[in-house]
Amino acid sequence: MSNLRIGKHLYRLGTVTSTQEVLKDLFLEGAPEGTIVVAQTQTSGRGRRERFWDSQPGKGLWMSTLLVPGGPEEHWSWVSFWSGIAARKAALELLNRAGEFEPGRLRLKWPNDLLLDNRKLGGILAEKTSDRKGNSAIVLGVGLNLLHRREDFPEALRDSAASILQVTGRECAPDDALERVVHAIINLSPLVHPVNPGLIEEVWLNHAWALNRRLRLRSGEEVIEGLFTGLGRYGEICLQTDAGTVHEWPNADAIELLEEP
């Protein structure tokens, strides 16, 4: 069990731009590891590559926490994958409250999405930040859709997003979800104190969406198709083309599953 103390410093806020930005400012002011910021809603919630995250008031868990991983900072890119494992563990516990839930329905999509029956249930954002003394930390954001009904989502997301309520028919209070996420982070914290890339990769791939399936990846003007075979040294997605060449991609604008030939 880790000695990580998380939630001792907990800030409950109403409307914020984003919990990530609030926590970065708190870190500059000396906030310790384990500090949590949770908000009712975010006006500028975002995911990876500055993409907007819809954070409706009271409908989900919108939180960030501060972590100082151990080990070389070059391994810190794996914290994002570790946090996906923790978010999945917490979500699975929430889903199981309504009866035995098939865990294979809940998958981790590279690099930072949590999918339920191929619809987005949540997302993770891990950002490295530094204070004025040069001390580094990870600001870890977690968003989980909890109380949304179909009509609560923006029209463009209604076929691609999911919530705990939609699947279980039971309401899940944000505080309940927060407690589950905190417990998951604490229980899994030995994997990042110090960061253990090999074990994180192994566990993440066990729950990966579309592993060993053919994908089309778009990054800027580039498009590549290939078999999703695993992760690279720093968490890049590895695609094997029909010619047998394996390409490692650190970023993607879009990833789609291709029909099997």
User: Hey, how many other C-beta atoms are within 10 angstroms of the C-beta on 194?
Assistant: 12
Provide the pLDDT for residue 186. Answer: 96
Q: From CA 169, how far away is CA 95, in angstroms rounded?
A: 10
244 shares its domain with 174: no
227 shares its domain with 247: yes
Provide the pLDDT for residue 85. Answer: 99
In a domain, 16, yes or no: yes
Q: From CA 7, how far away is CA 133, in angstroms rounded?
A: 24
* Alpha helices, H only, the chain: 19-28, 79-96, 164-168, 174-188, 197-206
Please, which residues have CB within 8 angstroms of residue 220's CB and are 6 or more apart in sequence?
253
Provide the pLDDT for residue 1. Answer: 40
In a domain, 5, yes or no: no
250 shares its domain with 122: no
Provide the pLDDT for residue 97. Answer: 87
Give 172-226 pLDDT, tens digit per residue: 999 999 999 999 999 999 999 999 999 999 999 999 999 999 999 999 999 999 9
121 shares its domain with 189: yes
In a domain, 121, yes or no: yes
Q: For the chain, first and last CA: distance in Å?
A: 47
Instruction: Kindly state the DSSP code that residue 247 receives in the 8-state scheme.
Output: E
58 shares its domain with 136: yes
Provide the pLDDT for residue 44. Answer: 72
62 shares its domain with 191: yes
Buried b (16+ CB within 10 A) or exposed e, 73-92: eebbbbbbbbbbbbbbbbbb
121 shares its domain with 160: yes
In a domain, 59, yes or no: yes
174 shares its domain with 227: no
In a domain, 92, yes or no: yes
Can you count the helices (H) and strands (E) in the chain? 5, 12
pTM of the predicted model as reported, rounded to 2 decimal places: 0.93
In a domain, 2, yes or no: no
242 shares its domain with 187: no
Domain final position from 206, 226, 245: 206
The CATH number of the domain holding residue 218 is: 2.30.30.100
In a domain, 91, yes or no: yes
In a domain, 84, yes or no: yes
Domain boundaries, position 162: 10-206
Provide the pLDDT for residue 52. Answer: 52
Helix (H, G, I), strand (E, B) or coil at 174: helix
The CATH number of the domain holding residue 68 is: 3.30.930.10
Going residue by residue through the chain, which has 261 residues, state the pLDDT in tens, using 9 for 90 and above.
456 788 899 999 999 999 999 999 999 999 999 999 999 999 875 554 445 556 788 899 999 999 999 999 999 999 999 999 999 999 999 999 878 899 999 999 999 999 999 999 999 999 999 999 999 999 999 999 999 999 999 999 999 999 999 999 999 999 999 999 999 999 999 999 999 999 999 999 999 999 999 999 999 999 999 999 999 999 999 999 999 999 999 999 999 999 765
Domain count, the chain: 2
123 shares its domain with 246: no
Question: Residue 125 burial (CB < 10 Å; 0-12/13-18/19+)?
Answer: buried
CA distances from 66 to 12, 17, 22, 126 (A): 15, 18, 11, 10
Provide the pLDDT for residue 53. Answer: 58
Determine the distance from the C-alpha atom of residue 70 to the mean position of all C-alpha atoms in its chain, rounded to a whole number.
20
Provide the pLDDT for residue 259. Answer: 76
159 shares its domain with 236: no
Please, which residues have CB within 8 angstroms of residue 12's CB and are 6 or more apart in sequence?
38
151 shares its domain with 24: yes
